[in-house]
């Protein structure tokens, strides 16, 4: 029984690791399954933001998760008590492997006039202009 418990703990640890680190194609596939329009663009932005690691635990200053959702404007974090929390989520929710809440907030950000759609993610220009071939190997 003790061996079984140990093996189960290892399996769960591996599963949780896999849940927070995607491959490019796996993330694109999940976003497509979630019905995200422009899933190629969202995947590429996550690629640029995380330097190709697609690690949902990513954090860069006030930016949380794959899309560096900002605690100054869009989510709530104790480090930024004056943040507007316009999406109504705790920022840590953008650092797990569940994408539904991330996508809800991304849609809100994308639709905001002051964010200029995808152009608000400035770093995307490093890699994302040619999306026609970006996901070619994924067979989506
Ligand atoms: Ca999430």
Give the domain extent around 78: 20-138
Q: Is the C-alpha dihedral spanning 77, 41, 31, 53 positive or negative?
A: negative
Q: How many domains does the chain have?
A: 1
Q: How far is the CA of 25 from the centre of ligand 1 (A)?
A: 18
Residue 70 phi/psi, 5-degree rounding, is -80, 130
Is residue 108, in this structure, part of any structural domain at all?
Answer: yes
Q: How far is the CA of 91 from the centre of ligand 1 (A)?
A: 9
Band (pLDDT 50/70/90 cuts) for residue 120 is: confident
Is residue 10, in this structure, part of any structural domain at all?
Answer: no
pTM of the model: 0.81
Please determine, for residue 8, whether its predicted confidence score (pLDDT) is greater than 50.
no
Which CATH number fits the domain that encloses residue 121? 1.10.530.10
**What are 18-40's pLDDT values in tens digits?**
447 999 999 999 999 999 989 99
**What are 47-93's pLDDT values in tens digits?**
999 999 999 999 999 999 999 999 999 999 999 999 999 999 999 99
Q: How far is the CA of 4 from the centre of ligand 1 (A)?
A: 31
Q: How far is the CA of 138 from the centre of ligand 1 (A)?
A: 23
Is residue 97, in this structure, part of any structural domain at all?
Answer: yes
Q: How far is the CA of 2 from the centre of ligand 1 (A)?
A: 33
Is residue 72, in this structure, part of any structural domain at all?
Answer: yes
Q: Is the C-alpha dihedral spanning 138, 45, 123, 130 positive or negative?
A: positive
């Amino acid at each position: 029984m003790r061996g079984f418990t140990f093996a189960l703990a290892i399996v769960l640890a591996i599963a949780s690791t896999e849940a927070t680190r995607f491959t490019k194609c796996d993330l694109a596939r999940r976003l497509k399954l979630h019905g995200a329009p422009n899933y190629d663009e969202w995947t590429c932005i996550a690629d640029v933001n995380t330097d190709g690691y697609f690690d949902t635990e990513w954090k860069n200053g006030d930016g949380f998760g794959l899309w560096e959702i900002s605690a100054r404007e869009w989510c709530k974090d104790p480090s930024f008590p004056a943040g507007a929390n316009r999406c109504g989520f705790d920022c840590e929710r953008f650092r797990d492997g569940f994408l539904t809440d991330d996508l809800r907030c991304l849609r809100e950000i994308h639709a905001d006039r002051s964010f200029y759609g995808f152009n608000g993610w400035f770093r995307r220009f490093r890699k994302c202009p040619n999306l026609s071939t970006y996901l070619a190997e994924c067979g989506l």
